[in-house]
A and B are shown apart, each in its own frame.
Chain A
Amino acid sequence: MAGRRTVETLVVMQPIAVDTGSPDHEGRLVIANGLLVAVLVRLEAPEHDEIGGWFLEVGFGRLKGLRAPTFLTLDAATRWLRGELRP
C-alpha cells in the first residue's frame, strides 16, 4: 500500500473516429488503468483558435465536467490527465 502513490496511472490512447458534427473527427479513447476516462478530439475546423490541438471532448468519473485547456500534443494531454487522476 505504501508504494501505491508512486505508481503512475497507466494511460492508453486508442485512436477512434468521433462524430462531433464538425470537421473535428480524429479522436482518442483515453483509457486509464483499464477504464475509459475521456475522449480527446483533434481540432481541425478552421474556425478554431488552436487548430491541431487536442480538446477534451468529454470526461468520465473524476474528469466529468472539467474544463481542460487545449493540449498541443498528446504527451501534454497525458501529463495533465495523470495529474488529474493522481490518487
Chain B
Amino acid sequence: MGNALTRKLESYEPLSTEDRHALNALVPRMRQVGAHVDLIREGDAPDKVLLILDGFACRYKVLPDGQRQIMAYLVPGDFCDLNVFILDEMDHNIGTISQCQVVDIQRKAIDEISTRHPSITRAFLWCALVDGAVLREWLVNMGARTPDQRIAHLFCELLTRLEVVGRVNDNSYAFPFTQSEIAETMGLSNVHVNRTIRELRALDLIKLKGRVLTILDVDRLKAYCRFTPNYLHIRNTRWGERRDLAWPGQAAGG
C-alpha cells in the first residue's frame, strides 16, 4: 500500500520499484496544515510544488465584492501544477478545506526525478492532462447541467477520484465540504444546494451524515447525472487492461 501519490500515478502508468522509491523520497518533508488555511495566495511567487497527501484542498479566487469561486478540488495524491515555478506569480489561491497533510516539493527534486524516471515523468504529464480535463468537465457542469445534476456529478467524480487513492469504503467517503463551499464551487446559492441535497436524499441516491457521504446507488446516481468517467483517464494497471501507448515519433508496435 503506497502513499496517495504513488497510488494515483500507478493508476496511470506502471511504476518500477525504483520509481516507487524515488516517489517515497519526495514525501518525508510532510507537514500538517489545519482546515481553511491558505497554502499559497494569488500574487505569491510559486517556488515549490504543493502535494496533498491527505485531506482536501481547493483552488479559488475572490472577486472584489467578496464573492468566492472554487475552481478545483485537490484530493489526496493531487498536486498543484508541476511546472508552476515557470510562472512569476500565482493567479489564484490554494487553500485547505479540511485538515491536510501537505508536502512541499522543491523544483530540484522534480527536475531530478524527471531526468531519471521516464515512467514518473509520463505519469506527471498524465496528471497535468487530467487536471485540464477535469477543469473542462467542470465548465460543462456549470454551463450545461442542471443544478441537481451538477451536484450529483461532483459526488460521482469525487467517488471515482477518491477510489483510486484508496479513500472510499463501501461507497462512502469523507465529505468535509460545507454547504457554502459546494455553493461556491457550483455557482449556486446555499439555498439551492440545500434543496438539491434534500432531493438526492429523498430519491435514496445519497446519505450525508457526520461529514461522510455515502452513495446508496452508484449506478442510479451516475445515470441521474449522466456521469461518464472518461475524462479522468484512469487506467489502473492492477485491475485493468492497459492499452498500448506509444510516444509520438515511435512506431506503434504490437
Q: A residues within 8 Å of B by Cβ? A: 20-22, 24, 43, 45, 47-49, 55, 67, 70
Contacts and interface: CB of A to CB of B under 8 A. Distances in A.
The 4 closest A-B pairs by CB, nearest first: A22-B195, A47-B194, A55-B191, A47-B198
A20 B195 contact: yes
A48 B191 contact: yes
Contact of B190 (A20, A24, A49): A49
Given A45-B194, A48-B194, A67 B189 contact: yes
Contact of A45 (B67, B189, B190, B198): B198
Interface in B193-217: 194-195, 197-199
Contacts of A43: 191
A48 B198 CA distance: 10
A67 B191 contact: no
Nearest to B67: A67
Contacts of A48: 191, 194
Nearest to B198: A47
Interface of A is mostly: loop
A67 B69 CA distance: 13
Contacts of B194: 22, 45, 47-48
Given A43-B191, A48-B191, A22 B67 contact: no
Contacts, number: 26
19 contacts: A20-B195, A21-B195, A21-B199, A22-B194, A22-B198, A24-B195, A43-B191, A45-B195, A45-B198, A47-B194, A47-B197, A47-B198, A48-B191, A49-B179, A49-B190, A55-B189, A55-B191, A67-B67, A70-B191
Interface of B is mostly: helix
B121 to A, nearest CB: 44
B224 to A, nearest CB: 14
A25 B93 CA distance: 39
A84 B197 CA distance: 31
Contacts of B199: 21-22
A43 to B, nearest CB: 7
A70 B67 CA distance: 16
Interface string B66-90: 0100000000000000000000000
Contacts of A45: 194-195, 198
B209 to A, nearest CB: 13
Nearest to A46: B198
Contacts of B197: 47
A58 to B, nearest CB: 11
A45 B199 CA distance: 11
Nearest to A20: B195
Given A21-B195, A24-B195, A49-B190, 16 more contacts: A20-B195, A21-B199, A22-B198, A22-B199, A24-B191, A45-B194, A45-B195, A45-B198, A47-B195, A47-B197, A47-B198, A48-B194, A49-B179, A55-B189, A67-B67, A67-B189
A45 B198 CA distance: 9
A47 to B, nearest CB: 5
Nearest to A43: B191
Most chain A beta carbons < 10 A, residue from B191, B194, B197, B198: B191
A48 B197 CA distance: 11
